Structure 1
Amino acid sequence: MKMLINVPETVVSDALRGMAAVHPELTVDVERRVILRRDAPVEGKVALVSGGGSGHEPLHGGFVGPGMLDAACPGEVFTSPVPDQLVRAAAAVDSGRGVLFIVKNYTGDVLNFNMAAELAEDEGIQVASVLVNDDVAVMDSTHTAGRRGTGGTLFVEKIAGAAAEQGAPLERVESIARRVNDASRSFGVALSACSTPAKGGPTFELPEGELELGVGIHGEPGRERRAMMTAGEIADFSVDAVLEDLRPSAPVLVLVNGAGGTPLLELYGFAAEVHRVLRERGVAVARTLVGNYVTSLDMAGASVTLCQVNDELLRLWDAPVRTPGLRWGC
C-alpha cells in the first residue's frame, strides 16, 4: 500500500501538526492530543467535548469551532482517546456552565468517557453525557453492545452545538442532543476495505465484485455481502433499512456521507438516488449534506443518515457554524 505518511507511529501527531499550521483559529496540543477553540472557554456557554479514534476525519477535530464543538480528543487510529485527554479538554473549555460529552457507542469510547466524566466531576466540573447509537445495520458488533454510533454524530454535534452557542443551559443542550440522536438513523455500504497505516493493507477481505451492506466505520461486518449493485439499488436498500426503523412523520435532514475513498462525482449521483427513494416513499427532505464527513480512512463506499426534524431543530441546523470541516452562515 502507498500512503502519504512518514511512518505509521507518527501519523496522528503529524496530522495534528498540520492542523495547527493550517488553522490558527484552533489551539492544537500535539503532544497531549487535544484540539480546542482558540477562544475557549467561552464566557457563559456550555462546552461540548467529543472525540474518538483517528481515521474518521473531519470527525471530530474538524468540527471544533463556533457553532459546534469546543474541544475534540483524537485517539490513535481506530482507538479511543484516553480519560486524561478528555479531562484535560473538559477543564480547558469549561466556563462554569458545564460540559457535554458526546460519545459514539463503541466499547472503548464508552468506558473512557465514563471514567473521564467521573474524574472531571471530582475536579468540580459538571458533566453530562449523550451516547450516539444511530446505525440500524446491526444490533451488536465487534466493538459495541447495541447499535454503533456513525453519521448521526454530525447531526448531534451540530444541532446541540448551535443550542450551546445560543446560551442554552446544560440540561437543555443535553436534551436537544438526545432528541437528535433519537431522531437519527444511519446505514453504510463498503465497496472496498480500509487500510490502516499500522497494518499497511486492508483490514478485512472483500472479494472483487462484492460489497458489504451495513458495514461499520471501522470495517466491522454488516448485514450481508452481495454482488456489486448499482447506485440506485444501493440507495433502495440503504434508505429502506433506515426508514423501516425510523418511520419519519416529518421532514428529514439527509447526510450522504463518503467513507473516504469515494469521489464527489459518485456521491452526488448516489445522493440523487437517495432523493428518488425518499420521494417515492413520501418522505420530505428539509436539507441535504453531501461529502466526506465521517470517514473510514481510504474505504470506498458511503452511508445514508436521516434525522427527523421539527422547526426548532431545523433552525438550529441552519444556525451559523465555523469549523474546518463544516461552515456556513458566517
Structure 2
Amino acid sequence: MKHLINDRATLVEEMLEGLVCAYQGTVIKVPDVNGIVKCHIEEGKVALLVGGGSGHEPIYHGLVGKNMADAAAVGNIFASPNPRVIYETAKACQRGNGVLFLYGNYAGDVMNFDIAAEMLHEDGIRVRTVVINDDVATQDKENRRGISGLFFAVKIAGSVCASVKDLDAVAEIVQKAVDRTRSMGTAFEAGTMLNTGKPTFTLHPDEIEIGMGIHGEPGVEVAKTMPAKQLIQIMLKRILSDLPFKRGDEVAVLLNDLGSVTNMELCIANKTVAEVLSEAGLLTLYTHIGKVSTTMDMRGFSISLIQLDDELKQYFFADANSLAFDFHRS
C-alpha cells in the first residue's frame, strides 16, 4: 500500500502538528503530551474534553472549536490516550467549573480516563464522565461500543457546555443525548494500519461484515455482497427497533464514511434511509453525509440516528464551528 507519510514512528506527532497548523491560531498543542486545546476558553465555563485513539480522524481532535469540544486528548493509533495525556489536557482546558469527559466505550479508554479523573480530583478539579455506547451490533447492551454517534454527542455537548454552568446538569443533558443515539456499521474491505502496514481484518472478496466495529471487532453477520437498498434495510431494522424509535419521532441522521466509501455511494444509501424513515413515520430534521468517524482507509460506512426532543434540539441546532464540522442554522 502507498501512503502519504514520512516515518511510521512519528505518525501521531506529525499529524497533530499539521492539525494545529490547520486550526490557524485557534488551537494549540498541550506542552509535552499529545493533546490540543482551544486558545480562548471563557472563565467559569464547564470544559468539554473529548478523546480517543488516532486513526479515526476527524473524530475527536477535529471537533474542537466554537460550541464544540474545548480540548482533545489523543492516543496512538487505535489506542487510548494514557492518563497523563488526559490529565494534562484537562488541566489545560479547565476554567474553574469542572470538566466533562466524553469518549467511546472501550476498556482502555474507560480505565485511562478514570485514572485521569482521580488525578484531577486530587487537584480539586471536578470531573463528570459520559461514555458513548451507540453501537447496536454489540449484543451486550451494558458494554456497547461507541462509534459514529459520538458526532451527535459532541455537537450537543459543545453547545450545552457553552451555555449551562452546572457540571451535573451538563452531564445529565449529554447523557440523555447518548441514550437516544443508535448506530451500526458495515465493512466491505479492511483498512491498513499506517504504523504497521498491515490490514485490520480479512474478508473474502464477495463478503461484507454487518456490524463490524471501528477497530475490526466482530459484527453480527458475515454476508455476501448485496444491493445497497437491501443492506440499508437490514441495518435500519436493527437501529430502529433498538431504542425503539416510534412514529412521530424527530430525528437527525448521519451517514458516515468509515474510510474510503464515496459520497456518491453514501447518497445512494441515503435514498433508502429516507424512504425507510418516512415509512416508519419519522421526521428527519437534519442529515449529515461524509467522513466523521473513520477507521483508517477501511471501505465501509455507518448509519447513526438520534431521537431529538425540544431540549436537545435547541443545543443540536446551535451554530458551531470546528476544523471538521461547520454548522450555521439558516
Contact 1:254/1:287 (<8 A) preserved: yes
CA contact (8 A) 2:102 2:130 kept: yes
Q: Are residues 1:107 and 2:104 paired?
A: no
Cα contact 2:11–2:195 (8 A) shared by 1: no
Q: Please state how far the C-alpha of 1:57 moved relative to its aligned partner.
A: 0.6
Aligned partner of 1:194 among 191, 194, 203 = 191
Q: Mapping of 1:1-330 within 5 angstroms?
A: 1-23=1-23, 24-29=25-30, 31-40=32-41, 42-140=42-140, 146-249=143-246, 250-329=249-328
Q: TM-score, normalised by structure 1?
A: 0.95
Q: Which runs of 5+ in 1 are unaligned?
A: none
Structure 1 distance, partners of 2:328, 2:282, is 27
Identity %: 39
Determine the C-alpha separation between the residues in 2 that align with 1:274 and 1:118.
43
> Secondary structure of the equivalent of 2:275?
helix
- The question of whether the paired residues in 1 share the 8 Å contact of 2:22 and 2:323 is answered with no
Given the superposition, is the C-alpha separation of residues 308 and 247 from structure 1 closer, same or farther in structure 2, using an over 3 Å criterion? same
- Secondary structure of the residue aligned to 2:100 is strand
Tell me, in whole angstroms, the C-alpha distance in 1 between the residues paired with 2:44 and 2:164.
Answer: 7
Q: Check whether the contact 1:19–1:28 (CA below 8 A) recurs between aligned residues.
A: no
CA drift of 1:201 comes to: 2.5
Q: Give the secondary structure class of the aligned counterpart of 1:177.
A: helix
Query: After alignment, is 280-289 or 223-232 more displaced?
Result: 280-289
- In the TM superposition, residue 167 of structure 1 has moved relative to its aligned partner by 3.4
Determine helix, strand or coil for the equivalent of 1:63. coil
Query: CA separation in 2, counterparts of 1:327 and 1:179?
Result: 23
How far apart are residue 160 of structure 1 and its match?
1.4
Report if the CA contact (8 A) 1:321-1:329 is conserved: yes
Supply the distance in 1 between the matched residues of 2:267 and 2:314 (Cα, whole angstroms): 25
Instruction: State the TM-score, normalizing by the size of structure 2.
Output: 0.95
Distance (Å, rounded) in 1 between the aligned partners of 2:326 and 2:50: 18
Deviation at 1:179, TM superposition (A): 0.1
Are residues 274 and 30 of structure 1, via their aligned partners in 2, closer, same or farther at CA, if it must alter by over 3 Å? Answer: farther
The separation in 2 between residues aligned to 1:31 and 1:213, in whole angstroms, is 40
**Contact between 1:53 and 1:74, CA under 8 Å: does it hold in 2?**
yes
Q: Is the partner of 1:61 in helix, strand or coil?
A: coil
Q: CA RMSD in A?
A: 1.5
For residue 145 of structure 1, report the CA deviation from its aligned partner. Answer: 7.1
**Alpha-carbon distance in 2 for matches of 1:10, 1:302:** 28
Deviations 1:35-69 (A, max 9, x none): 111113x2121001011010111110000111011
Change (3 A) 1:62 1:30: farther
Q: CA deviation at 1:219?
A: 1.2
**Alpha-carbon distance in structure 2 between the residues aligned to 1:30 and 1:88:** 8
- Cα distance in 2 for partners of 1:73, 1:271 equals 33
User: CA–CA distance in 2 between the matches of 1:202 and 1:147?
Assistant: 24
Indicate the SS of the match to 2:66: coil
Counterpart CA distance in 1 for 2:21 and 2:68 is 21
CA distance in 2, matches of 1:30, 1:9: 20
- Please say if residues 30 and 92 of structure 2, whose CA atoms lie closer than 8 Å, have aligned partners that are also in contact: no
Structure 1, 104-113 or 229-238: larger mean CA deviation: 229-238
Aligned-residue offset at 1:329: 2.3
User: Aligned in 2, Cα 1:30/1:327: closer, same or farther, shift over 3 Å?
Assistant: farther
- For 1:178 and 1:145, how far apart are their aligned partners in 2? 14
Q: Return the offset for 1:31.
A: 4.4
Structure 1 residues 126, 75: closer, same or farther in 2, change over 3 A?
A: same
Give the letter aligned to residue 313 of structure 1: L
